[in-house]
Structure 1
Amino acid sequence: MNTSSVMPYPARYWHMLADGRMQCDLCPRDCHLHEGQRGACFVRQRQGDQMILTTYGRSSGFCIDPIEKKPLNQFYPGSSVFSFGTAGCNLTCKFCQNWDISKSRDMDRLMDQASPEAIANAAVQHGCKSVAFTYNDPVIFAEYAMDVADACHARGVQTVAVTAGYMHDQPRRDFYAKMDAANVDLKAFTEDFYFKLTSAHLQPVLDTLSYLQHDTDVWLEITTLLIPGYNDSEAELSALCQWIKTELGPDVPLHFSAFHPDHKMPDVPATPPATLVRARQTALKAGLNYVYTGNVHNLEGDTTFCPACQTPLIERDWYLIKRYRLDAHGHCPDCGAAIAGRFDARCGHFGRQRIPIHMGGSTA
């Protein structure tokens, strides 16, 4: 594909400053741009008196995944999701697990091109329940993601944001008005961690979580990547879980996932499985109803239990659903308790497949 054929796309969320610079208003980084400069995300650029989104219509790749891989365990379990991302990121996480995509400044890495309508059509063609904006943070390609969401909804396809949740209020409202579900990375529960390891701040992420839970109908799940010695202390985990229960409620699913040495932290050891098990127990003791472990093989940590009677309701082996006992209304068949989430009458059976898709430069 000739990437130079992609026309510049006008971006939203900016204003001019008195000194002639342009301020990007998408996220709390508030980048100030001279002519030709790009923001810290590298994909939002000033051209004259407008801002453009350089990655509109371009992707680092498309793939069909199990929804549980996002991870979303209580959003149409077992269904398939049409996943894609672009390049760049508005955080600078030293522990990034997708750094080759999210930190890329090489636009030629974006080999696939597709219009919003083409993505929606492909999702329908492949029988996907939803489309996920993932691999890198969709906040930075918000205009593209929102247009894709409109096209998906027109075809009856749901939309999912996998994000760090780092954005300003107005774009947050616009963006999540188009989303059906979100998994937000709550990377730690201290400002020190956010500032030193991500070049960001904690409070805007907490604001996004509170907004999603209290002011939208978006189904919300949270992921925290546990890094040994950085954010896995009992005190921090207890504080994080108490905040979730108090501010968001006990029914928001929480996923603890395992770090592996990567990017700028190659000498930090991988997260021991025992740390995830301990974190899960801490969260359950704090009163959270749905707590999972990720990136490790742990059948109990993969399972959805009834919070009322503790019956195993959705038993998983990695991303494969082995047993599904919810009734057609999403209730426990033993005690009748309603299970938080979005459910069909029957679960999907996509399993643990991962199917790469080439869009072939499709624009329609």
Structure 2
Amino acid sequence: MKEAILYEKLADKKVKCHLCNHFCTIAENKRGICSVRENRDGVLYSLVYGKLVASGVDPIEKKPLFNFLPGTKSFSIATAGCNFRCLWCQNWEISQIARTSKDIPGRDTAPADVVALAIQQDCRTIAYTYTEPTIFMDFAIDVMKLAHKSGIKNVFVTNGYTSEEALREIAPYLDAGNIDLKAFKDETYRKMCGAKLEPVLETIRLYKKLGIWLETTTLVVPTVNDSEDELRHIARFIADVGVEIPWHISQFYPTYKFLDAPPTPISTLHRAREIGIEEGLRYVYEGNVPGTGDENTYCYRCKELLIERYGFKILENRIENGRCFNCKAEIDGLF
């Protein structure tokens, strides 16, 4: 437990958290929506500082990041907790446990230990992932500073609900991120996730403004966000922010509290990819369907195949010094 960053003290021993866009006002002996920040005697504490519930080595493609150091390894960490309550959360056992348990699990780990493990495993990046990294940013920023000193880059896999103040705080140490754009209807965010759409859109714009490499992901959920109209609105928004931003469209599988919807048809993912390209996006990837979707990177100018993938595995990479081997167009990202 450690005193939290980014909060203000109010009257009557209340506090206001500035970490995410919920901006919770928290009474004494209560927790915020994330359930991992607690007001004790008028002081806000992080209950998950250094308490890792998951860690391990992943291919960077699993984040997913396809245009950022492809083919490299990422040391991935998470604590318990989340500021969303998505009904189809794939990691609900660790993201939601703090809502139901007074005692929050986790292995005590120092920031220096995380960096040492990343170096030991020959990882080019540290990914803050699995749950929502914003809610353990107190710990993440200490790791990130040490990582940069060791030449390791930092990656957030996030729901995009980070406050502007918090994002600007970590921006000097954050090299890349993947933001989930779960839908393009505020009603869906409120009903399915317990949040709002507009703050996520603002975060996407701010990543671009701050120069942080950004990729986006939409889990295409039947009956929720799979209409052509909604997919086109998502693609058009991303393209308006930047046509170079990759869009990952992933297949849904029934899980957690959303068990009645079927898996996303492959044909829906194919159509979503077509829509993304029609709206001007340079890189659109189908996910969770290895071998049956389009996971490859193509040159946006001459259309040559540049990176051939099967799932998270790279079969061939024909990018040369960040450029297309054929027409020499500069390929967006870090290669």
In the alignment, what sits opposite 1:142?
A: 137
| C-alpha contact (below 8 Å) 1:149/1:179 kept by paired residues | yes
1:305-344 correspondence runs (5 A): 305-327=298-320, 329-343=321-335
Change (3 A) 1:326 1:229: same
Secondary structure of the structure 1 residue equivalent to 2:274: helix
Aligned residues: 333
Give the letter for the 1:279 counterpart. A
Report how far residue 300 of structure 1 moved.
Answer: 5.5
Give the letter for the 1:32 counterpart. T
Percentage identity across aligned positions?
40
Secondary structure of the structure 1 residue equivalent to 2:327: coil
Secondary structure of the structure 2 residue equivalent to 1:177: helix
| Partner of residue 158 from structure 1, selected from 150, 153, 156 | 153
| C-alpha contact (below 8 Å) 1:44/1:51 kept by paired residues | yes
1:259-316 Cα deviation digits (max 9, x unpaired): 1111111111111121111101110111100000111124651100000010000000
1:152-188 Cα deviation digits (max 9, x unpaired): 1111111100000102221121123321110000111
For residues 191 and 155 of structure 2, the distance between their equivalents in structure 1, rounded to whole angstroms, comes to 29
| C-alpha contact (below 8 Å) 2:270/2:293 kept by paired residues | no
Report how far residue 109 of structure 1 moved.
Answer: 6.4
Secondary structure of the structure 1 residue equivalent to 2:294: helix
For residues 292 and 150 of structure 2, the distance between their equivalents in structure 1, rounded to whole angstroms, comes to 36
| Partner of residue 275 from structure 2, selected from 255, 263, 282 | 282
For residues 249 and 300 of structure 2, the distance between their equivalents in structure 1, rounded to whole angstroms, comes to 18
In the alignment, what sits opposite 1:201?
A: 196
| C-alpha contact (below 8 Å) 2:38/2:44 kept by paired residues | yes
Q: Which has the higher contact order (CA 8 A, sep 6+)?
A: 1
Change (3 A) 1:48 1:108: closer
In the alignment, what sits opposite 1:118?
A: 113
For residues 310 and 254 of structure 1, the distance between their equivalents in structure 2, rounded to whole angstroms, comes to 17
For residues 184 and 173 of structure 2, the distance between their equivalents in structure 1, rounded to whole angstroms, comes to 28
In the alignment, what sits opposite 2:86?
A: 93
For residues 95 and 35 of structure 2, the distance between their equivalents in structure 1, rounded to whole angstroms, comes to 10
In the alignment, what sits opposite 1:189?
A: 184
Secondary structure of the structure 2 residue equivalent to 1:184: strand
Report how far residue 201 of structure 1 moved.
Answer: 0.5
Matched, 1:239 2:241: no
Matched, 1:271 2:264: yes
For residues 29 and 103 of structure 2, the distance between their equivalents in structure 1, rounded to whole angstroms, comes to 19
Report how far residue 13 of structure 1 moved.
Answer: 1.8
For residues 13 and 236 of structure 1, the distance between their equivalents in structure 2, rounded to whole angstroms, comes to 35
Change (3 A) 1:53 1:154: same
For residues 127 and 252 of structure 2, the distance between their equivalents in structure 1, rounded to whole angstroms, comes to 22
| C-alpha contact (below 8 Å) 1:37/1:46 kept by paired residues | yes
Report how far residue 40 of structure 1 moved.
Answer: 1.1
| C-alpha contact (below 8 Å) 2:157/2:178 kept by paired residues | yes
In the alignment, what sits opposite 1:174?
A: 169
For residues 17 and 277 of structure 2, the distance between their equivalents in structure 1, rounded to whole angstroms, comes to 40
| C-alpha contact (below 8 Å) 1:87/1:107 kept by paired residues | no
| C-alpha contact (below 8 Å) 1:87/1:101 kept by paired residues | yes
Report how far residue 49 of structure 1 moved.
Answer: 2.4
In the alignment, what sits opposite 1:223?
A: 217
For residues 238 and 73 of structure 1, the distance between their equivalents in structure 2, rounded to whole angstroms, comes to 22
Secondary structure of the structure 1 residue equivalent to 2:143: helix
| C-alpha contact (below 8 Å) 2:14/2:26 kept by paired residues | yes
| C-alpha contact (below 8 Å) 1:299/1:318 kept by paired residues | no
Matched, 1:13 2:6: yes
| Partner of residue 33 from structure 1, selected from 23, 26, 29 | 26
Q: For structure 1, which segment, 106-115 or 167-176, has the greater mean C-alpha deviation from structure 2 after superposition?
A: 106-115
| C-alpha contact (below 8 Å) 1:97/1:262 kept by paired residues | yes
Query: Where does structure 2 lack aligned partners over 5 or more consecutive residues?
Result: none
Give the letter for the 2:158 counterpart. T
